[in-house]
Amino acid sequence: MRERWGPFAGMGVSRVGGGRRRRAGALLLSVLPLVVALVACTPLYVPLVPERIPIREVAQLGDGSTLSDDAGVLTVHVVLARVPRAGWLALQWFAPDGTEAASDSVWVTPADVGQGRTFTLPPRVTPTAGEWRAVVSFGSDVLRQFRTTVVAAGP
């Protein structure tokens, strides 16, 4: 005869049947985290492969672009390799202390590809000893940074 137990006494549930149910419940509880983990790892977006994102074209400078120091006169010569649209080509001069010493800009169009532009540090700015930087940009894109070291003038 089977023995009746606990809160299930009188309901026809025996210890043998309850053991099977407990094992089934334990199995369910042990498998449940695995099922939850697998569901959590599925992608949450549709479609699974996003559409092709258009790449924005940016202006480029050619290899002939240089910064030179001719007897204390700093000069940047840039050659335009690509100009995707008309806009301002800007150059900013930065002194050794990091402040902007001067700036200049010129309007360029796609027809200007292959042509050069020359920017010179204005004569009102005296190049002090240290590292000078010239940053060339087109619109909001920085194209290139040039650096040179100006040595202190001798006595």
Position 17 pLDDT exceeds 90: no
Does a structural domain hold residue 49? yes
Position 79 pLDDT exceeds 70: yes
Could you give the angle at the alpha carbon of 126 between the alpha carbons of 67 and 142, nearest 5°?
40
More confident residue, 13 or 73: 73
| Residues 67 and 140 placed together within one structural domain of the fold | yes
| Residues 146 and 74 placed together within one structural domain of the fold | yes
The CATH number that applies at residue 74 is 2.60.40.10
Mean pLDDT value across residues 39-64: 79
Does a structural domain hold residue 75? yes
Mean pLDDT value across residues 126-131: 88
Cis amide bond preceding 50, omega within 30:
no
Tell me what percent of the residues of the chain surpass a pLDDT of 90.
49
**pLDDT (tens digit per residue) in 112-121:** 999 999 999 9
- How many C-beta atoms lie closer than 10 Å to residue 138's C-beta? 22
Q: Where are the alpha helices (DSSP H) in the chain?
A: 15-40
Residue 154: per-residue pLDDT? 46
**pLDDT (tens digit per residue) in 25-51:** 888 788 888 877 777 766 666 666 777
Alpha carbons within 13 angstroms on the beta-carbon side of residue 68 total 10
Residue 155: per-residue pLDDT? 46
Lookup: tokens for 58: 């940016």
| Residues 98 and 68 placed together within one structural domain of the fold | yes
Whose tokens are 């369910």? That residue is 28
Q: Which of 38-42, 101-105, 124-128 has the highest mean pLDDT?
A: 101-105
Q: Which residues, listed in sequence order, are joined to residue 147 by a DSSP beta bridge?
A: 133
Alpha carbons within 13 angstroms on the beta-carbon side of residue 75 total 10
Position 106 pLDDT exceeds 50: yes
List the domain range (segments joined by +) for residue 131.
Answer: 60-150
| Residues 104 and 127 placed together within one structural domain of the fold | yes
| Residues 41 and 88 placed together within one structural domain of the fold | no
